[in-house]
A and B are shown apart, each in its own frame.
Chain A
Amino acid sequence: MKKKLSRKEFHFLTETLEENVDRGLLKETQKKDILTYYEPSQGLDFIRVLVTIGSILIGLGILLIIVSNWSAIPALGQLSVLFFFLALSMSISFILKASRPITSQAFLYLATLIFGASLFLINLGFNFNIQTNTLFFVWALGALVLSSLQKDLLLFLAAHVLALLFVFNSFDEFIFVQLFALIVSFFGGNYYFNYRKVVSFATLGLMTFFVVYTLNYFDVPPPIISLSVFTIGLLLAHVPHDLNRDTFRLVGFINMGVAGFSLSFPNLWQELAFIDRGQFVSVPFTLAFVVYSFALVSKRQVVPLITISALIMRFYFDSFFDFLPRAAFFIVGGLLILGLGYWIERLRKASEEHA
């Protein structure tokens, strides 16, 4: 199949090949051979544009009729409409897979949205009284099913987001069975997607939230939860292995950054019964953490630098907000942000050059 180029690109390619024929770098037959693999796209066809706009308008009209009469449609009718549109978008995605892969993907995403909307509308229409967190869980499973259909990476990542919403809506609920199903699916998905970095990043991030949920469920005090996340971050960043090392390190630094930031607050430590004055722990911890972060910055790591900047801003706000006149506070604060931004950018460029 010939690759389609825009008219401008095709013209540029033809001209470049002709120039190289003139220079003697290519033969006329070679130029023709290369050009057989490309063809100019048709560009804007007036009739096609009209047909597309017309079909969109008809679609919108049908959608409007359905939406405005939704409550009047009997429950079984609502079900039929939702199933019909789900089947339609999946079928169109399947039919266009070979000829128009991008449009096919778009219809697959539409199917995922229709599936999610169906869950909420059916729950409402039949009044099943299913809680929102369960709906997000089922939606995540649906997104996993649809992502496996065309091995779609974006849908697999969307399933992570939906799983995250499920966990956020389920604090203090017993969801370990569902969590087990999700963990198995996501680790299987990592294998299915050949351990791509972005997939590993999403899965590791989600697993951190699973840990936070679990500790919270068993009423573990918040400082211990933060310390656990911090420890997980340390392990992710420093345990040597060969699988997506950079991604593990990045998630580790983010975990440590967020947990370390929260542990810089004395009030958090005071939630432990044996600690009366939180600052006796928070200050040494923060100092040690900043020294450790500087050691990482010296190895051209950007995330620890962002953490240090956030800590500087947090102490600046806490210490000077009441003490300085407002104008001076904002000017100095602004200068501090500019300075830290410049510092982060310089380190980012340096680490890129180093890489």
Chain B
Amino acid sequence: MLKLWKHPLGKLGISFVALLILIGSLALPALTVRTLGDPVIFEAEGFASNRNIDGSLIQYQLAIETVPLDNIDPEIIAIYEAQQAAFDGFGPLFRLEGVTLYLHISRHPDHTVSSTFLSLSPPADGHYLKVHSHILNYDYRSSVETPPLIGIDLDFNLPPFNSSLNFVNEGDLSFDRQPILVHARLYRGRIQVIDITRP
């Protein structure tokens, strides 16, 4: 290897291969989840995103997003309230951006899942979904402001690596959210979509 590195062409070749390996390493998390993850099924709503491939939609909204206020870690509420007090007067659109949240998940015998708790740290049993998300000061999805509620924005991309998404096209879901059934695998907070069907 050292001999090859000393040769100018060998150096070029090794560098190029190293760069390809670095690029290839991006696929590792997706492949790990696919190999080691537990199968889960949940209902989601898909909607059009700017980020699409071949007209397939890639952004979804989990149906398990509706986390009751009682099921939110008091630490999150404390952070939210402190931030809201600090930015008082910025209006209802205030967001706490880019928070890493852990959605604790209950798995049922038929592989369906439901959310139980939203916290700032992962649960010990390892069944959780790690989401970079936003905390809103109202439920942004309803036009009516509901001040006592904290909206947890759990929109995120479900990685459709090797999944069959071609049945959905942009026109279907641009305006109307339609429920879809997602078969995925879950591993250490990461999720990998295997297949999607209409319920």
Contact = CB atoms under 8 A, between A and B. Distances in A.
Contacts of A91: 12
B131 to A, nearest CB: 11
Interface string A22-35: 00000000000000
Given A75-B53, A124-B51, A130-B26, A142 B19 contact: yes
Given A90-B12, A90-B15, A146-B15, A74 B54 contact: yes
Contacts of B52: 71
B27 interface: yes
B100 interface: yes
A128 B30 contact: yes
A149 B12 contact: yes
B11 to A, nearest CB: 6
A86 interface: yes
Interface in A74-88: 74-75, 83, 86-87
Interface size class of A (residues with CB under 8 A): 20 to 34
B29 A130 contact: yes
A94 B8 contact: yes
B16 A127 contact: no
A123 interface: yes
A128 B161 contact: yes
Contact of A123 (B8, B26, B54, B190): B26
Q: Of B8, B23, B29, which is in contact with the most chain A CB atoms at under 10 Å from its CB?
A: B23
Given A71-B52, A138-B22, A128 B15 contact: no
B39 interface: no
A128 B53 CA distance: 13
A127 B19 CA distance: 20
Contacts of A148: 15
| Top 7 closest pairs, chain A to chain B, by CB | A129-B159, A127-B159, A145-B18, A149-B15, A94-B12, A128-B26, A138-B22
Interface of A: 71-72, 74-75, 83, 86-87, 90-91, 94, 115, 118-119, 122-131, 135, 138, 141-142, 145-146, 148-149, 172-173
